[in-house]
Amino acid sequence: MTDQRSQAEIVRQSLKRRYRKERRFRAYGILAIAIALGALLTLFTDIIGKGYTGFLKTTITMEVQLDGEMMYLDDPKDERQIKMADFVEPLVQALIKEVPGATEEDRKQIRELINPYASVALRDALKANPEWLDTSRTMTFLSHTDVDVYVKHAGDDAYSIKLNDQQKAWVDELQERGVIETSFNDVFFSGGDSRDPSKAGILGAIVGSLLTMFVTLILSFPIGVAAAIYLEEFAPQNKFTDFIEVNINNLAAVPSIIFGLLGLAVFINLFGMPRSVPVVGGLVLTLMTLPTIIISSRAAIKSVPPSIREAAEGIGASKMQVVLHHVLPLAMPGMLTGSIIGMAQALGETAPLLLIGMVAFIVDVPDGFFDSATVLPVQVFLWAGSPELAFIERASAAIMVLLAFLISMNALAIWMRKRLERRW
Amino acid sequence: MQPANLLLLTLVLAIVAYWLGYARSRSLAMPLGGIRHLKSLPFYYGARAALWSGIPALIVLGLWAAFQGKVIQLIVIGGLPDGMMPATEGEASLLLSKISNVASGALPPGFVEAPIAEAAERLKALRSQSQFLMSGLVISVAVLAGFLGWLRIRPRLNARAQVESILKWVFFACAALAILTTVGIIFSVAFETFRFFEKVPFTEFFFGSHWSPQTALRADQVASEGAFGMIPLFTGTLLISAIAMVVAVPVGLLSAIYLSEYAGRKVRGVVKPLLEMLAGIPTVVYGFFAALTVAPFISDLAASMGIEASSQSALAAGAVMGIMIIPFVSSLSDDVINAVPQAMRDGSLALGATQSETMKKVIFPAALPGIMGGILLAVSRAIGETMIVVMAAGLAANLTANPLETVTTVTVQIVTLLTGDQEFDSAKTLAAFALGAMLFLATLLLNVIALKIVRKYREQYD
């Protein structure tokens, strides 16, 4: 009796300590989740904070005198003349007029406020509208990247402002008068890569990504579904089938860069395919995403209840008819969901594409499957490696676009799973 | 014709074959008194004709498109005069890129020697010839095979059985692609690795402690010998992976335990997808975050404490990689913890143990093998991870265990050695493949062991 009581006593005495331990353990769990979610939050705020200014461009709107004599141009239709003509001078003169107190002596400093590509824009405008010659027009041009950085990040220590005090005062003045403005950065969405951050855009990378994804999708979805059907429905129980399964499971865990090595050795060096084209990128990503698609398609096929198969077989359908007419349509939503997730993975993949040469500096928007191209994540990588902070800003903006694509793809997959998938 | 257009044309031809086959089977059946006198439905006769027309044509198209580039290159190189014949593969690839630059118009023909300009002309001619021949061959194969298939349509023909067995073989070929991929990986890395070991001794690669792959461009250059000791890369990879595991394992495991044992349905419904979001973020984004936010933060923090830290510290890359792996560890542990039978949990709770005691003394030991398997998978993921380390870890191959110093990894070196223009037979490029082979073997080994453990563990409680 006494012995038992003392034991109960021991337990009671230890309870406080044990409950404390319990609470501590629970707190560890909460802490762990907080760390993980905190990291997610930090990542997002960091990228948005660094990149939202990438969606803004700085422009200069001014009255430009398209004086033929000043430009050494009397016929804008003449190719030779337009090549030789001076399109910088009218811009400089126009800006000198806008800046109060600026004189001809300041022209070098004034010139540094205008984007180097502005003269190209002016030339193109004049080429398209020859009648503008010897008139005066209000036109909008991109500012120089240094001005762009100053306007957006004047107080930020991380950015080095390259303008001198005189130029800063001018820009402040011009901003007040509405000559220099920031607006939505349409250049970012309508151009290819450029050496000049103000001119750099992601359209080329987006088109490259779409082309690559198209190749990946049309190859990996049918092949993945066919392989899943074979393994689930037709494969005999033997060593060879086991071997195929082991291979698929291992390929799913092979680092993506190894697929890049495969692409380089087989598609480029053995088959002599060109480097940095969407077709080769798509082939490599196909091999990489196939295991994911096969595994999820198999799960979808498995979830179709045997009663469906038995019913179809019972009324005389052949095995192939059972599969193609009954199992496949029922498993399709699950297969599509798995494929969208696989495609999202492929869209964010960078490493294998670096090895097959999709890192080249490509200005033009690709216009075909065999045209040199880059993809969105590689563009992010290229810009992130630049020492210029203006490019870092663009890289974060490009990340936001990439994440928007990925999140909408995943949301679509979740929606499809909820909406279309049948529970048996 | 471009291969893409040709592909479309082949598909159109297959559709035409389908309609012709369909029509022929019906017209054969009509005099007999309707399609019930056919062995199969007209659909299958059409499908059979389409497969007959499409499959051989697609195979021809695929093979031609795959090998035409290489064959043309060989012919062009072979057609050069004796004096210009490249002696090594490196020279050959240089010469080829010159020729193709002239052919594409990027380099004016006047800038190069006459034989190269001629070779460029030949390249252009061969390319257009090859396209022409390919189009002709593919179209004639499609038409001819489709015609044969169409001709052999008889009412007694069991078209359905034929179509089904062809389809079954097609499905089998798709599944066997996985084997082909593995074989391709093994051959592509093994071949170059052997050639690497012809140039660099075995012992140097495995036991050398110095890595500087800069081989000389000229033979007489200073420091012309590259050094290929993989030990610093190996330790660097391990260091970064270890840091990643220190972050990912406790956080992933504890959050999985909390979510499966303590959290209510609502909390779980919100937190789990958010955690999985971490897994869906592309690695290049993590690399960006590590290189531009975490690394400067760590080096500033260390500087404020009076410690010297590199701006590309192993700690930054490892910590961010750890964050990336958290959902991987947590979802695997979640599976494993849920697989432990409820009876064990109930038994322990009935004896008066608290939930945490049940977890620590009963469920965790029971789930340990499965969790170990999951961690091994996570380790294999960490050593194969590329973008984070390419962007945030450095290039200097230091042999150090200090997480604040710069280290480099196997994957970083593969990317550095293979991006940009490279000749194909230098030890430098081959080294990348040798490293790839090591990486492949290491991850394969980890995966095989991990999958075995996990499977064995599942069987235990199934």
A250 contacts in chain B (CB < 8 Å): 182, 444, 447-448
Q: Quote the CA–CA distance of B84 and A309 in Å, as a whole number.
A: 67
- Whether the pLDDT of residue B412 is over 80: the answer is yes
This complex has an ipTM of: 0.91
Which residues contact residue B191 at a Cβ distance below 8 angstroms, ignoring those fewer than 6 apart? A265, B433
pLDDT at B62: 87
Interface check for A363 against chain B (CB to CB < 8 A): the answer is no
> Is the pLDDT confidence value at B220 over 80?
no
- Where does the pLDDT of residue B290 fall: very low under 50, low under 70, confident under 90, or very high at 90 and above? very high
Task: Determine the pLDDT at residue B90.
Answer: 66
Q: How confident is the model at residue B1 (pLDDT cuts 50, 70, 90)?
A: low
pLDDT at B238: 93
> Which tokens hold the place of A411?
């949301």
Do residue B192 and residue A265 have CB atoms under 8 angstroms apart?
A: yes
Residues of A in contact with B327 (CB under 8 A): 36
Mutate to test the interface with A, among B158, B181, B411 (most CBs of A within 10 A): B181
Nearest in space to A383 (alpha carbons), one of B291, B347, B112: B291
d(CA B26, CA B35): 6
Q: What pLDDT shows up at residue B20?
A: 92
Domain ranges of chain A: 2-52, 55-199, 203-420
Any CB–CB contact under 8 A between B106 and chain A?
A: no
Question: Can you give the pLDDT at residue A371?
Answer: 84
Cα B433 from Cα B417, distance rounded (Å): 10
pLDDT above 60: residue B223 = no
Whole-angstrom CA distances from B109 to B73, B99, B102, B105 are 19, 9, 6, 8
Per-residue pLDDT of chain A (424 residues; tens, 9 = 90+): 556 678 888 888 888 999 999 999 999 999 999 999 999 999 999 999 988 888 999 998 888 888 878 888 777 777 777 778 888 888 888 888 888 777 778 888 888 888 888 888 888 888 888 888 888 888 888 889 888 888 888 877 778 788 888 888 888 888 888 888 888 988 899 888 888 888 899 999 999 999 999 999 999 999 999 999 999 999 998 999 999 988 998 898 899 999 999 999 888 888 878 888 899 999 999 999 999 999 999 999 999 999 999 999 999 999 999 999 999 999 998 899 999 999 999 999 999 999 988 888 888 888 888 888 899 999 999 999 888 888 999 999 999 999 999 999 999 988 888 887 676 6
Under 8 Å CB-to-CB from B133, ≥6 apart: which residues? none
Using a CB-CB cut-off of 8 Å, the residues of chain B touching A223 are: 174, 177
Mean pLDDT of B360-384: 91
For residue B224, pLDDT beyond 60? no
Distance CA A339, CA A329 (A): 15
Q: Which segments of chain B belong to CATH 1.10.3720.10?
A: 227-461
Do the Cβ atoms of B316 and B407 come closer than 8 Å?
no
Fold for domain B227-461?
MetI-like fold (1.10.3720)
CB A250 within 8 A of CB B182: yes
What are the structure tokens assigned to A56, written together? Answer: 């803004």
CATH code for the part of the protein at A203-420: 1.10.3720.10
Residues of chain B contacting A30 with CB distance shorter than 8 Å: 258
pLDDT at B169 over 70: yes
